[in-house]
Amino acid sequence: MKEKYSHWFEPIAEHLSDAYLRYSFTYGTENEVDCLYSILELKAGDRLLDVGCGPGRHSNLFAEKGIDVLGIDISSEFIRLANIETTKAEFLRQDIRQMKYEGEFDAVVSMCQGGFGLLCDPESSIDNPDIDLVALENMARALKPGGKLALSAFSSYFQVQYLSDNDLFDASNGVNKEDIEIMNSKSEKKKAVTWTTCFTPRELRLMTQSVGLIVKNIWSVKPIEYKLLPCDIENPEFLLLAEKAT
């Protein structure tokens, strides 16, 4: 009997499967990892947690640099794909909302609205509109003292500027509903709905401080090219860098 989905993204990931890695936003993975490796000041042997790792595209490149990587994702299909690859990274299916690691990692990353930014849906937003704060608390707890967090978050400024006919932005909780069509590697199309929580730099700063982390910087970034830019309203994502006090 198929396991019941615990999150709206799981059937999307199951349908996409390996076709996920053909989407254009994945083409900048190497640039993203190089950037993160630098700002996190990683060195060989460091322990890193990749939250919302997908099929492991960031985790595998970090592992190639000598980092001890654990990748987690709620999608069993993505974890299956990640474990097919010959890599030194470890992968586990896990829900960030229930994650219990404590003081185990030198760094935590969450990229492309994986474990942060895709948690809200019509049901959870009623009981807990700030579920991403729970994810942030769990990531902060997982860090060792002096450990660093890097996560990307979708920009509210960008989203409201470029709403399409398929978008519906809920200003009360900053969540954008989008009707999309996804296609797997067999060219089979399927309609789906995504729910992306969007943020401003001020929100990110206040949330991060509330879980006991020190904000080091927030930049605007654009997938693929991935240059660190001053915060603006023209680029789709923000990249937050924070540190756990020693």
- State the amino acid at position 133 in one-letter form: L
**Boundaries of domain holding 72:** 27-244
Helix (H, G, I), strand (E, B) or coil at 77: helix
> The dihedral of CA 127, 116, 41, 217: what is its sign?
negative
Q: Is residue 4 in a domain?
A: no
pLDDT band at 123 (very low <50, low <70, confident <90, very high): low
Pairwise CA distance, residues 85 & 117, whole Å:
27
CA–CA gap between residue 132 and residue 203 (Å, rounded) = 11
Domain CATH number, residue 215: 3.40.50.150
Residue 5 lies in a domain: no
pLDDT in tens, 175-198: 999 999 999 989 999 999 999 999
Residue 14 domain-assigned (yes or no): no
Task: Please give the radius of gyration of the chain, using alpha carbons only, rounded to the nearest integer.
Answer: 17
pLDDT tens for each residue of 124-135:
555 566 889 999
For every residue of 222-246, DSSP letters joined together read: -TTT---B---SSSSEEEEEEEE--
pLDDT above 70 for 96? yes
Domain count, the chain: 1
Residue 19 resides in a domain = no
Model pTM score: 0.93
Question: Is there a domain that residue 7 lies in?
Answer: no
How does pLDDT run across 223-241, given as a tens digit for each residue?
A: 888 899 999 999 999 999 9
Inside any domain, residue 141? yes
Does residue 17 lie within any of the structural domains?
no
Q: If we measure between CA atoms, which residue out of 163, 167, 63, 71 comes closest to residue 110?
A: 71
Is 113 or 180 the better-scoring residue by pLDDT? 180
pLDDT band at 22 (very low <50, low <70, confident <90, very high): confident
In a domain, 21, yes or no: no
Mind listing the pLDDT tens digit for each residue in 9-18?
999 999 999 8
